[in-house]
Amino acid sequence: MTTEADAAHIMVVEDDESLAAWIADYLNSHNFQVSVATRGDDALELIQADEPDLVVLDVMLPGLSGLEVCEKARKFYSRPILMLTAQSEEDDEIRGLEIGADDFLAKPVKPKVLLARVKALLRREQSDDPAHVIRIGGLYIDPTSRTLTLNEKDINLSSHEFDLLTLLASQAGSPLSREKLISQMRGIEYDGLDRSIDISISRLRKKLGDVASAPERIKTIRGKGYLLAPDAW
């Protein structure tokens, strides 16, 4: 697994060439290896061929939109995707999370915030902390290889979904609040409006065969948050 010290490869997908060059130079100055794509269709091919450690992906792109790139890439790419959205386009943020983006930043991009989000996503992806396999019934989570099986069937999750499920499973039977989940997953305080955890929970339920109208595996505990039920696997 690549670490920050080994110059993690960041792919920047942005059609504004001056902004792309600025982001690339800034990340280069913090010891990351950076490649740039300016079209969505080109980016999709490069993500599959190069397998970068993280993708910074703008929404508005020629060829394919960033949302289309994210959705198509999630069929073969499980590493972090950080989307750049227009300041007023909340719908893009919601749609991005629904199709598997790990995080998002609104433009104009603030350098230190971008760097902090990139490092946080890579840190979760490349953690050197000792990791223990989690087994709950037919659910098998291996944080070291970042693989998940349910009843001996491989389940493909995005980096964000895997980390969220691991966090819930590590405290199975206890509800975790949105505040705690957002703090752990995104490194920011919950503002009462952030829907990123709710959207990711919805995606997890679907992938894990939980019934959306009456979930039994990942339950919503009113006033307390979300709970992974230890006896439902």
**Which pLDDT tens digit goes with each residue over 147-167?**
899 998 999 888 788 889 998
Radius of gyration of the chain (CA): 18
Q: What is the pLDDT of residues 98-117, one digit of tens each?
A: 888 888 888 888 999 999 88
For the chain, the domains span 4-125, 134-228
Number of alpha carbons in the 13 Å side-chain half-sphere of residue 60:
8
- The CATH architecture annotation of domain 4-125 reads 3-Layer(aba) Sandwich (3.40)
pLDDT at 78: 84
Per-residue pLDDT at 67: 93
Q: Give the pLDDT of residue 5.
A: 41
| For the ranges 5-19, 34-48, 104-118, 207-221, the one whose mean pLDDT is highest | 34-48
Angle of the 111-125 helix axis to the 17-28 helix axis, nearest 10: 60
Whether 4-125 shares its CATH topology with 134-228 is answered no
Please state, as a whole number, how many other Cβ atoms lie within 10 Å of the Cβ of residue 44.
21
Tell me how far apart the terminal alpha carbons of the chain are, to the nearest angstrom. 30
Q: Where are the alpha helices (DSSP H) in 35-127?
A: 40-50, 66-73, 90-98, 111-125
The tokens describing 163, both together, are 């980390």
Q: The domain 134-228: what is its CATH number?
A: 1.10.10.10
Coil, helix or strand at residue 31: coil
The pLDDT assigned to 81 comes to: 94
- Report the alpha-carbon distance of residue 217 to residue 117 in Å, rounded: 30
Cα–Cα distance list, 164 to 101, 170, 205 (Å) = 13, 10, 12
Between CA 71 and CA 67 the distance in angstroms is 6
CA trace torsion 91, 188, 58, 56 (10° rounding)? -150
CA-nearest of 15, 73, 78, 9 to 44 is: 73
pLDDT tier at 90, thresholds 50, 70, 90: low
